[in-house]
Chain A
Amino acid sequence: MTAIVVSGRAGAAIAAELGTMKVTEQIDALYTLGTDPVRYLVIPRLLALLMVLPLLTVASDFTGIIGGLFVARVKYDIPTIVYWHDIIDNMEARHFVHGFLKTFIFAFVIAMVSCFRGVTTRGGAEGVGKSTTAAVVVSMVLVLVLDYFATALLNAMGIT
């Protein structure tokens, strides 16, 4: 879920920014000034996503648990202590690890797709719009598809 939101938010931002840099020749300018555009633009964004997406996922995991508590209290009148007991009884570290490991795959995919779409943009403002849309759509679909494979892989490894 977090990965989907991030691919919408960060993926679009990356593709739009790099796309604009491409159509205004700023990426060519980087090259003429002795910089490798990939090293300068892509790698920091990849690292940023690799760091932030797992953290965001942890935050959203906790928000989910707190949200659950709120619903349990208000709607179903389940005492807080019972809710916590159930959470602690039923949740194991591996559940958390499972989700946490997948975020790295998603972060990599979102960064690569968005950067690639950005730096290969052509054709002015319209091109920037197109590559932003493509970046978001492709990374969302890839996140969903890869989720199945990642789950299967992690299950096979015993991390369910």
Chain B
Amino acid sequence: MIDASSVAKSFGPRPILRGIDLRVETGETLVIIGGSGCGKSTFLKCVIGLHAPDAGAITVDGMDITRLKTEAEIANYRRRFGYLFQEGALFDSLTVAENITFGLRYLTDIPTAKYRQIASDSLALVGLKDVEDFKPSELSGGMKKRVALARAIAAQPHYILYDEPTTGLDPIMSDVINDLILDLQKQLKITSIVVTHDMKSAYKVGSRIAMFHEGRVLQVARPDVIRMTDNPYVRQFVDGLSQGPIKMKLKEFDAEESAGSRKEKA
């Protein structure tokens, strides 16, 4: 179980998270949706410890990330997670097999002799084979995502954090990745957080959906409830409309100018 309470994070003067309370139950797939810059990726990075929250606590299986001190504690925490990066983030100097087994050396005690087998098994789980000796630059976008997913599951994590797993893929490949996420959840009983702005994917893989807006959680509910939501912010987002309470500026300077002129009038 991942339990976040009043998590806040700013980058310089810009607040990104303004108090996130969110609980992810064991075995579920929580989807986080929200516009660009709403803090959903930042939240994911706080959970795995890439960013340290300024305030609040994130507790995973009773361990509070903000209180971990020794290297052993941190390693024990990180071992529970697999992380799928938006662009895959495969190491381009290593082969596919080396990429997949990279974390095993640091996160597990598995002997090196078994690495090859684990690489093939992980690739099989994401529907690939005979690509072990390719370099990432020789793979297509969809294959890179799959290899990155294979790397995320190689050390048998309890949790997988997906950062926009379907972004940049064609619709068919996106759906294949969705199927993979569902498949992994069923086969490996993994708890996941999926950050996305692809509503089709959110409805399909999510057991619950949380909407972020300006660093806060607007609504957390099952996909069928979100589909029927009457929260105007969530409504606008799931319908994908440019008009509504969420102001996405057509031109960045428009909003600032109008805000400026409003101030002048006042």
Told that A25-B86, A26-B92 touch, could you supply 8 new A-B pairs with CB distance under 8 A? A24-B89, A28-B83, A29-B83, A29-B90, A29-B91, A30-B91, A34-B103, A35-B106
> In the bound complex, do residue A25 and residue B48 qualify as a contact, i.e. CB atoms below 8 Å apart?
no
Q: Which 4 A-B pairs have the closest CB atoms?
A: A34-B106, A33-B103, A29-B89, A25-B89
Looking at B74-82, B193-201, B230-238, the stretch in contact with chain A turns out to be B74-82
| Residues in B whose Cβ lies below 8 Å from that of A28 | 45, 50, 83, 85, 89
Query: Are B107 and A33 closer than 8 Å at their CB atoms?
Result: yes
- Distance of A93 from chain B, by nearest CB (Å): 41
The answer to the question of A90 belonging to the interface, with a C-beta cut-off of 8 Å to chain B, is: no
Are B78 and A32 within 8 A (Cβ)?
yes
Number of residues from B at the complex interface, CB < 8 A: 24
A21 to B91, CA, bound (A): 8
Question: Shortest Cβ distance from A26 into chain B, in angstroms?
Answer: 5
A90, B109: Cα distance in complex, Å: 61
A49 to B85, CA, bound (A): 32
Complex contacts, A35 vs chain B, CB 8 Å: 102-103, 106
CA distance A33 to B49 in the complex (A): 12
Give me the interface of A with B, judged by CB distance under 8 Å.
Answer: 21, 24-26, 28-35
Q: Which of the residues B50, B90, B92, B105 comes within 8 Å of A31, measured between beta carbons?
A: B50
Q: Are B91 and A26 in contact (CB under 8 A)?
A: yes
A3 to chain B: closest CB distance in Å?
Answer: 27
B87 within 8 A of A: yes
Residues on A with C-beta less than 8 A from B106 are 33-35
Which residues on B sit within 8 Å (CB–CB) of A25?
85-87, 89
Set of chain B residues within 8 Å of A31, measured between Cβ atoms = 49-50
A18 to B102, CA, bound (A): 18
* A30 partner residues in chain B, CB cutoff 8 A: 91
State whether B102 touches A33 (Cβ < 8 A).
yes
**Docked pose: A34 CA to B102 CA in angstroms:** 9
CB–CB B89/A34 < 8 A: no
Indicate which residue in B45, B50, B79, B86 contacts A34 across the interface (CB closer than 8 Å): B79
Closest A-chain residue to B78, C-beta based?
Answer: A34
Contact A26 B89 (CB under 8 A): yes
Complex contact A32–B87 (CB within 8 A)? no
Q: Are A32 and B81 in contact (CB under 8 A)?
A: yes
Q: Tell me, in angstroms, the Cα distance from A32 to B48 when the chains sit together.
A: 7
When distances are taken between beta carbons in the complex, the residues of chain A under 8 Å from B151 are 33
A74 to chain B, nearest CB (A): 46
Chain A residues whose C-beta falls within 8 Å of the C-beta of B50 in the assembled complex: 28, 31-32
> Which residues 205-222 of B sit at the A interface, judged by CB distance below 8 A?
none
Closest Cβ–Cβ distance, residue B71 to chain A (whole Å): 8
Q: Nearest Cβ distance between residue B106 and chain A, in whole angstroms?
A: 3
Residue of A nearest to B50 (CB): A28
Complex: A32 Cα to B75 Cα, angstroms = 10
Task: Kindly list chain A residues whose C-beta atoms are within 8 Å of the C-beta of B86.
Answer: 25
A sample of 11 cross-chain residue pairs with beta-carbon separation below 8 angstroms, ordered by A number, consists of: A24-B87, A25-B85, A25-B86, A28-B85, A28-B89, A29-B85, A31-B49, A31-B50, A32-B48, A33-B107, A35-B106
